[in-house]
Amino acid sequence: MAKKHGPTIKDDEQYEELRKQGMSKEKAARIANTPRKEAAKKGGESAKYEEWNKDELYQKAKEVGIEGRSNMKKEELIDALRHH
């Protein structure tokens, strides 16, 4: 049985597995708190980051809290978003 991580983590088992895989606490929590049915529906709907313009990438980076985003080039924003 998975350890309870408090009321902020909705799927403790998934959270623990993601942390074992090396994900940050923030990213693991974000994924574990997304209902699985909702996550399955969202898959594949978004365009690849290379198709986004720099302003769209910047806004997404801001939304997920990537620091230093204002000084990044488009390629750096893409890399930061993929590895956040």
What is the distance between the terminal CA atoms of the chain, rounded to a whole angstrom? 28
- Structure confidence by residue, pLDDT tens digits, 29-61: 888 888 765 555 555 566 789 999 999 999 999
Percent of the chain with pLDDT over 70: 79
pTM comes to 0.49
Predicted local confidence at residue 58, as pLDDT: 96
The Cα–Cα gap between 48 and 46 comes to: 6
Helix axis angle for 25-32 and 12-20, nearest 10°, is 140
